[in-house]
Amino acid sequence: MMRFVLLNRLCEDIDSLHLFGERYLVYRKDLGSSSNPCRRGGCVLVAIKKCLSSRKLDVPGLDLEAIWISVKLNHGEKMLLCVVYFPPSSHVDTLFYNNVRYENDCDIANAFADYFSSVFKPSTDFDGNDECNSNCVGDLVKIESVSYDDVVLAIRELKSSLTVGVDNIPSFIIKGCAEFLIYPLLVPFLSLRTKVIPDVWKQTKIIPVFKKGVAQNCENYRPIAILSPFSKIFESIIHKKLYNQVKNLISTSQHGFIPKRSTTTNLFCLTDKIISSFESGSQLDVIYTDFSKAFDSIDFGILFKKLHGIGFRVNLIDWLLSYLWNRTLCLF
């Protein structure tokens, strides 16, 4: 009665009738227009016999390569189908690390884990009760509570994705069930007062992504961290509340990770200074620097002392330390 086909390579000009015949009503989504080269040329096909009543559903807000179909069966019951396209896997059969060859999946995973962990530099110990330095401006930065509206907005802004963290729950499921999840989510947000954070929110799924060079070389991969959607919702709320309180303290020369700023705005500022120097006949020197694996090299001790210095409350710093410390990683 129904046939499902997921094809990694199919020309867009191939007629569906050539594949299924006239007895089927075919729902099809070609991926030839995708901007992702890994997905280009794939196709999702769902063929349902015409004796069944079926129709394609438009699901707003879900930017997924999928087909949603409502089917009415012969005995009157309805069934909702969702067929999703996944790109081909880039599985590595052989990996070299520290001049050792690995072929077993478990050994390959351990080699990746050893390499990724070697990049991280342990931070110095930090005591949230340390004396505030001379730059401290008091208890200015704080988060009193998380409201119902905060959770609603965070779920609404959550990107729809099939990617799952260690809890195996995709974000589009959370968006679709938002009205039933808002109040339960307010309960773990009490951790802002108790500093007790759900362990699953501190678990991260790591996927090695190939950069360039020889695919069998462990050093040619970078780790992509995938959090639970619930953890993403929590981080979104915390980030928004913190940023609104400290944005006026951030240098106007900072263009990275700032809303409405980017490398483009940075180049505009540089170009303006270059033109002004040309017009005035003055000298202008430009120095380019870059930090290798900067985010993996952050010293938590220094970070939290800086936060204390600009006015973060000690209990908020303790909560941030609890959230970032003793995290667990799973390699996939």
Q: How far is CA 258 from CA 14, 132, 233, 266, in A?
A: 46, 27, 19, 11
Same domain (yes/no): 128, 210: yes
Q: Is the same domain home to 211 and 245?
A: yes
* Distance of alpha carbon 98 from alpha carbon 110, whole angstroms: 13
141 closest CA partner among 244, 42, 284: 244
Predicted local distance difference test score (pLDDT) of residue 236: 93
Tens of pLDDT, residue by residue over 276-320, are 999 999 999 999 888 777 777 778 888 888 888 888 888 888 888
Top pLDDT among 132 and 219 is at 219
Burial (Cβ within 10 Å: 0-12, 13-18, ≥19) of residue 316: buried
Q: Which residue has the higher pLDDT, 29 or 138?
A: 29
Q: Do 213 and 238 have their domain in common?
A: yes
Instruction: Identify whether residues 178 and 295 lie together within a single domain.
Output: yes
pLDDT tens-digit map of 36-76: 444 444 567 788 888 888 888 776 555 556 778 888 887 77
Q: How far is CA 158 from the centre of its chain?
A: 10
Last residue of some domain: 53, 84, 115?
A: 84
For residue 154, pLDDT over 90 is answered with yes
What's the confidence (pLDDT) of residue 131? 46
Q: What is the pLDDT averaged over residues 241-264? A: 90
Over 80: is that where the pLDDT of 194 sits?
A: no
Residue whose pair of structure tokens reads 């992509």 in the numeric block: 224
Question: Mean pLDDT over all residues of the chain?
Answer: 79
In a domain, 281, yes or no: no
Query: Residue 300: which residues within 8 A CB-CB, separation 6 or more?
Result: 123, 124, 126, 321, 324, 325
* Helix H or strand E encompassing 150: helix 148-157
Does residue 274 belong to any structural domain of this protein?
A: no
Domain boundary pick from 84, 118, 151: 84
Q: Which of these ranges, 39-48, 126-135, 228-237, has the smallest mean pLDDT?
A: 126-135
**pLDDT at position 36, please?**
44
Residue 199 lies in a domain: yes
Q: Which residue has the higher pLDDT, 135 or 280?
A: 280
Residue 275 lies in a domain: no
pLDDT at 2: 58
- Name the residue with higher pLDDT: 57 or 155: 155
pLDDT band, very low/low/confident/very high, at 134 (cuts 50, 70, 90): very low
Domain that includes residue 24, residue range: 2-33+41-84
Q: Are 121 and 64 within one domain?
A: no
Domain count along the chain: 2
What is the Cα–Cα distance from 215 to 56, expressed in whole angstroms? Answer: 41
Q: What is the pLDDT of residues 165-184, one digit of tens each?
A: 888 888 888 888 888 889 98
Please check the confidence at residue 103 and state whether its pLDDT lies above 80. Answer: yes
pLDDT at position 116: 86
Tell whether 263 is covered by a domain.
yes
What is the residue whose two structure tokens read 């087909």? 67
One domain for residues 59 and 151: no
Indicate if 226 and 107 belong to the same structural domain. yes
* Cα angle value 320/321/327 (rounded, 5°): 105
